[in-house]
Amino acid sequence: MEADWIWGLVGGMLIGTGGAAYLLGSGRIMGASGIIGGLVDGTGRATAVERLVFLAGVFLAPMLLVALFSEAETHLTTNPAVLIAAGLLVGVGTRLANGCTSGHGVCGISRLSLRGIVATAFYIGAGGLTVVLFRHLLGVI
Amino acid sequence: MRNFLAFLAGSLFGAGLLISGMTDTTKVQGWLDVFGAWDPTLAFVMGGAIVPMALAWRLTRNRTPLVGGNFPPPPEPKLGRNLVLGSVLFGMGWGLSGLCPGPSIASLSYGHWGHVLFVVAMLAGMFAAPAVRSQLDRLAAPA
């Protein structure tokens, strides 16, 4: 679609506004992997309710929008082996690196954090190579 | 107040992910697929998100958070093995599926079993991460 980049820009600004509200309001960095990971490994037990409320918003707002714009599609693979491998890699990787696209990408780059910039370069590079390998050479995805 | 802010931020984040097309794995894998039908949307999403965030970081000077306390300390300059290795592993999973942590939660709203399977595997990976980290530390330590 031609207007994709406009929706990208508008949606991106919403994401950034969410991060800005969380930073200026609560004094926290809006990083999805950190917020989820803290619930899983127990490091975020003291702030568990706040984390769950945040995730409820992440889940409920698009649910409302999906009902309104039924054309939104996900095109997710149906190969369970790929889904399990990808989920494990994303889970271990983001916690090892202490951040993902929202924490290192959006919140890190916007404050010119070297760690955020380096992490983003590596996950985009690895993601690109993975797509080339598994799509064009192996034809798995 | 903390919970209200968390819900507000989460809702804006989730709505932005869907509107921007980041819950559509074709767009994410299209951005990574420089040898295929390259899709630049993700760059606009990142750019759009970084603008208000950069403004917010600027506003943290000489101020405290609304709910009190302190803003996060300045970023550590240290890079290290975990940052690089973790980001490479994350990128591989991201490329394979077209999902990262935020959109994986937002995508649960589609009601597809595939997202549930991905999220369960991701949670298992996050649960295992501290053990993986200490195992790596042991391997790296001089005997």
ipTM (interface predicted TM): 0.95
Residue A137 belongs to a domain: yes
Contact residues on chain B for A6, CB-CB shorter than 8 A: 44
Domain containing A103 equals 76-141
**Domains of chain A: total:** 1
- Comparing A7-11, A104-108, A137-141, the range with the smallest average pLDDT is A137-141
Q: How far is A52 from chain B (nearest CA, A)?
A: 9
Residue A70 belongs to a domain: no
Domain containing B66 equals 2-140
Residue A57 belongs to a domain: no
Contact residues on chain B for A17, CB-CB shorter than 8 A: 12, 16, 52
Judged by CB atoms closer than 8 Å, whether chains meet at B14 and A59 is answered as yes
Of B54, B56, B105, the CB nearest to A24: B56
For chain A, how many residues are written? 141
Residue with tokens 């298992």: B124
Phi, psi angles (nearest 5°) of residue B100: -120, 175
Q: pLDDT, tens digit, for every residue of B88-140?
A: 999 999 999 999 999 999 999 988 999 999 999 999 999 999 999 999 999 98
Interatomic CA distance for residues A90 and B126, integer angstroms? 8
> Please, which contacts does A130-135 make with residues 24 or more away whose CB atoms are closer than 8 Å?
A130/B32, A130/B91, A130/B92, A130/B94, A130/B95, A130/B96, A131/B29, A131/B32, A131/B33, A131/B36, A131/B95, A132/B33, A132/B34, A132/B35, A134/B95, A134/B96, A135/B29, A135/B33, A135/B36
pTM attached to this predicted model: 0.95
**Domains of chain B: total:** 1
